C-alpha cells in the first residue's frame, strides 16, 4: 500500500457488470459530477457503486478505455 494514497479514494465506478474509470463514468453519467457520493442508478435501474482504492485488485482496469485503475 502506498502511504500517500487513501483507501477510500474513489478510483472507479462499478456498473453494467464492470468497472469504469472516473473519466469514462462521468462521460456516461454526468450526474456523478454533481453527486459523487450519492447513490445513483444507471439506465437499467442498477446502482452505480463507487469503487475505492481499498477495494482495488492488482489487475483492475477500466472496461471502457482499458486504463489500469491503480494509478
Binding of Zn ion at residue 19 (CB under 5 A)?
no
Closer to Zn ion by CB, 21 or 56: give it: 21
Binding of Zn ion at residue 26 (CB under 5 A)?
no
As measured in angstroms, the least distance from the Cβ of 3 to Zn ion is 26
Binding of Zn ion at residue 24 (CB under 5 A)?
yes
Binding of Zn ion at residue 33 (CB under 5 A)?
no
Question: Strand, helix or coil at 22?
Answer: helix
Tell me the C-alpha distance between 24 and 41, whole Å: 16
Tell me the C-alpha distance between 65 and 61, whole Å: 8
Sheet containing 40-41: order of strands: 18-20, 10-15, 47-52, 40-41
Closer to Zn ion by CB, 32 or 62: give it: 62
Amino acid at each position: 500500500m502506498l502511504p500517500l494514497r487513501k483507501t477510500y479514494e474513489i478510483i472507479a465506478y462499478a456498473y453494467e457488470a464492470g468497472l469504469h474509470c472516473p473519466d469514462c463514468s462521468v462521460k456516461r453519467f454526468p450526474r456523478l459530477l454533481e453527486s459523487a457520493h450519492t447513490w445513483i442508478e444507471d439506465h437499467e435501474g442498477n446502482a452505480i457503486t463507487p469503487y475505492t482504492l481499498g477495494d482495488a485488485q492488482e489487475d483492475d482496469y477500466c472496461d471502457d478505455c482499458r486504463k489500469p485503475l491503480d494509478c
